Structure 1
Amino acid sequence: MMRAGKLNRVIFLDRLTAPLNENRTPVPAWTNIATLRAEVLQHSIDEAEADNGERDTDSISFRTRFFTGLTTADRIRFMGRTYNVKGWTEIGIRGGLEIKAVAA
């Protein structure tokens, strides 16, 4: 059971769309598809080796009420940062979602 008092953060789910401009040409744009209350389960910044040295990896996990239609192409805006959705786990039978994301 998810306790409402733990959902003390607000996250914004965005999806890439391609509305038409005045010349009827598709222009990619991020559109907000949902605003959800969430709990931050884990937020970590790790240093990892990359091709040209080291880089920081900012990863975060959220728990929120169930949301239909989430994909890994979506992104999350939280506290001024943008995170790419990497995966999610359904909690119970449509009881909630645990979303894993990495900073864009």
Structure 2
Amino acid sequence: MRSGKMRRVIQVQRVASEVNDAGTPQEVWTDHLRLRAELVERTASEFINAQGAGDKALTVFRIRYVENVTNSDRVVFGGQTFNIKEISEIDHMRSLELRCEKIGAD
């Protein structure tokens, strides 16, 4: 993967548990990793073939390989939040593709 293509910066967030002022545990999103990423442009037909027909807004981020990113994490990019739907390894641990769905997308 060429570093020149990774022009974007994304934040990977993870759920953590903390206790609020009333003493009740609650889940909050905390920053986990800050990474450089390539925003991969895909055509609608590629998503239809790969994911099945649907109207969901999907975004793909390509990052260097890291071990501790999971489907339970989420990505923040450009003021928008994305759930990670699928993680694909590319070139045997060289990079990862994070296939994400925008939260709040209709």
TM-score class, shorter-chain normalisation, is 0.7 to 0.9
TM-score, normalization by structure 2: 0.79
CA offset digits 1:3-23 (Å, max 9, x no partner):
010000001001111112344
Partner of 1:73: 72
13-22 vs 60-69, greater mean Cα deviation? 13-22
**Alpha-carbon distance in structure 1 between the residues aligned to 2:22 and 2:101:** 35
Gaps of 5+ in 2: 45-54
Identical pairs, percent:
35
Q: How many residues align?
A: 94
Q: Deviations for 1:9-52, whole angstroms, at most 9, x for unmatched residues?
A: 0010011111123444212100110000000112678xxxxxxx
What is the rounded CA distance, in whole Å, between the counterparts of 1:63 and 1:98 in structure 2?
4
Which segments of structure 1 move beyond 6 Å, counting only runs of 4 or more?
none
Q: Does 1:103 align with 2:102?
A: yes
- CA distance in 2: counterparts of 1:66 and 1:11, whole angstroms: 14
Contact 1:20 1:27 (C-alpha < 8 Å) held by counterparts: yes
Quote the RMSD (CA, aligned, Å). Answer: 1.9
